[in-house]
Structure 1
Amino acid sequence: MNEINDIVADIKRKILKPIYFLMGEESYYIDQISDFIEKNVLDESEKGFNQQVMYGRDVTIEDIIAAAKRYPMMAERQVIIVKEAQDLSRTIENLASYAENPQPSTVLVLNYKYKTLDKRKKLYKIIAKNGLIFDSKKLYENQVSDWIRRVLNGKKYQIEPKAALMLIEFLGTDLSKISNELNKLVLILPEGTIINDKHIEENIGISKDFNNFELRKAVGEKNILKSNRIINYFAENPKNNPLVMTISLLNGFFTQLLFFHGLQDKSKKSVASALGINPYFVDEYFLASRNYPIQKVTSILSFLRDADMKSKGVGANQSQEDILKELLFKILH
């Protein structure tokens, strides 16, 4: 995050690099930097002749180099943005000849999503020397809640931990998807709102009562009635509640619970840090540890592995609903 802030701050001060190579698994930050350059480097009066957007599937490296070598018209510089540059991955090293001596009046931006340059090769080394390389890494799941909170704080909103977890469960760790949903909430809800699970249910369509977060909580409490109600809802709405996601979440929970059993320091702060969770959820692990001794947790992890294999059609011919019901019965009894 600090690296992005530094890049943006330099652009605002007109401290510009001749090449910005934006690469990596997390497309959100690539788009944020690229869009900021597109909107802010040139004045509106300069953009018509001096700003060009290309797409990797439509051009060659030679096309990009030819455009980059041109001089700007009635402006100090030109901006060339190559979106989906990963489509040029087979020939991307051919850009090295230009990167060795880039046109100083050109700002060349390459959005190289879901891939990275080989650090051992010539192009990476040259751009690192003469331009800027930004590697946009995926956040871990336990980092996304803090990211959501920071984004909303910047917009003068807050969010409850459960609501943040519901978003992550439903949308995964794709920051672009999460950002889109947060923008919807900000448009709908008044400034200063503390976003809760009801807001998520009403405005995004995620059930606050029947989701994997609530299933995990019910299982941890050994609440058989609530667990069965949730999995029956899942069976009626399989598209919104895929079995693979449920198994993954339960596996993560019981893996953390196994780790919890082995902790020497079980203070709330220490547990939250060791498990990489929000302190808000620590009490669930204390309760679950009483309901599931370490030997039972080990067995449950085995049940989860078997269910995962069955869900992929290995070793059994069962419906997704039957696999989930069988799994829950084994966990809860």
Structure 2
Amino acid sequence: MDEAIQIVNDIRKGIIRPIYFLFGEEPYYIDKISDFITNEVLTEEEKGFNQMVLYGKDVSIDDLVSNAKRYPMMSERQVVIVKEAQHLSRTIENLSGYAENPQETTVLVLCYKYKKLDKRKKLYKIIQKNGVIFESKKLYENQVSEWLRKNLLSSGYSISHKAAILLVEYLGTDLSRINNELEKLKLVLPKQTEITPKHIEEHIGISKDYNNFELKKAIGERNVVKATKIITYFAQNPKDNPFVLTVTLLHSFFSQLLQYHGLKDHSPKSVASALRINPYFVSEFQTAARNYPMKRVSKIISSLREMDLKGKGVGANSQTQSDLLKELLVKII
């Protein structure tokens, strides 16, 4: 995040490089930097003749270089954005010749999503010298809550810890998806608001009481009554609570619990680091570990794999989601 901010601040100061190679598994910052360059480097009058968007699946490296070598018209520079540049992965090294001597009046931006550029190869080293290389790494689940908090803080909002965890549990670690939901909240809530689970339930549609986060907690505590209420709600709202997602999240939880049992150091800081979880969740693992010994956890993981197959229609004998959820709870608790 800090590196992305630095790139944007440099451009604002007029420090503009001839090549920006944006790559990595997390598309959010790649899109943000690309959009900023698209919107800010040229004026609206200059864009007509001097801004071009190409797509990696439709062009070759030769086409790309040919466009990059054009001179701008009635402007100090031109901008060439290459979206889906990962489709050029087989020939991307052929860009080395241009990168060694890039057109100083061109800003070439390559959006190379979901792939990595080999740091051992010539192209990486040349762009590192003559341009900007930015790797957008996927955040771990325990990092997303902090990212979410900072994102809202920069916009004049705050968020309760439980609300942040609820969003991450429901939306996963896809920053673009999370950001879209945050934008919805910003449209209806005034600045200086602390976003709570109630806001999320009202405006995004995630139940603050009946969700996988609460189910996982109830199961960890062996709270049969609460867990039964939640799976009943899931059975009544199957589209919003797909069975396969529930199984996947529970499998992840018990896999981490198995890892917890194997740790020598059970201090909160050590556990959070080893399991790559938010420290907020450590107490849940401490409770679950008391309720589920290691051998029992191993059997549960095996059962969850079996239930995952049933959820995908393998050996389910046309069981309804309600039946699958009940069987799931029986096998675990």
TM surpasses 0.5: yes
- Aligned equivalent of 1:203: 203
Instruction: Provide the C-alpha distance between the structure 1 equivalents of 2:59 and 2:268, rounded to a whole number of angstroms.
Output: 55
Match of 1:20 in 2: 20
Cα separation, 2, equivalents of 1:303 and 1:22: 42
**Aligned match of 1:323:** 324
**C-alpha displacement of 1:182:** 0.7
Question: Retained in 2: the 8 A contact 1:303–1:330?
Answer: yes
Q: Cα gap change, 1:238/1:44 in structure 2, threshold over 3 Å: closer, same or farther?
A: same
After TM superposition, the structure 1 = structure 2 runs for residues 1-333 of structure 1, keeping only pairs within 5 Å, are: 1-314=1-314, 317=317, 319=319, 321=321, 322-332=323-333
Distance 1:168 1:318 in 2: 32
CA contact (8 A) 2:162 2:196 kept: yes
Answer with 122-131 or 203-212: which moved more.
Answer: 122-131
**Structure 1 position 194, deviation (Å):** 1.4
- Match of 1:43, as an amino acid? T
Aligned-residue identity in percent: 66
Letter in 2 for 1:129: K
CA contact (8 A) 1:243 1:320 kept: no
Partner Cα distance (1:6, 1:301) in 2: 44
- Tell me the C-alpha RMSD between the 2 structures: 2.2
Q: In the aligned structure 1, how far is the partner of 2:57 from the partner of 2:277?
A: 41
TM-score (norm 1): 0.90
Supply the distance in 1 between the matched residues of 2:267 and 2:304 (Cα, whole angstroms): 29
How far the C-alpha of 1:286 sits from its partner, in A, is: 2.9
Find the aligned partners of 2:32 and 2:11 in 1 and give their Cα distance. Answer: 13
Q: How far apart, CA to CA, are the structure 1 residues paired with 2:277 and 2:125?
A: 38
Decide whether aligned partners of structure 1 residues 66 and 262 sit closer, same or farther in structure 2, where only a CA change above 3 A counts: closer
CA distance in 2, matches of 1:294, 1:169: 25
Q: 1:240 to 1:27 in 2, by over 3 A?
A: same
- SS state of the match for residue 14, structure 1? coil
Judged with a 3 Å threshold, the aligned counterparts in structure 2 of structure 1 residues 260 and 87 are, in CA distance, closer, same or farther, namely closer
Q: CA deviation at 1:39?
A: 1.8
Q: What secondary structure sits across from 2:239 in the alignment?
A: coil
CA distance in 2, matches of 1:284, 1:22: 38
Aligned 8 A contact 1:310 1:318 in 2: no
Query: Residue 71 of structure 1 contacts residue 105 of structure 1 at CA under 8 Å; is this kept in 2?
Result: yes
Unpaired runs of at least 5, structure 1? none
Conserved? CA contact 2:140–2:276, under 8 Å: no
Q: Structure 1, residues 9-38: CA drift from partner, whole Å, max 9, x if none?
A: 221222222111111211100011111111
Q: Which moved more, 1:319-328 or 1:200-209?
A: 319-328
Q: After alignment, is 300-309 or 173-182 more displaced?
A: 300-309
Instruction: Call closer, same or farther: CA 1:44–1:266 in 2, change over 3 Å.
Output: same
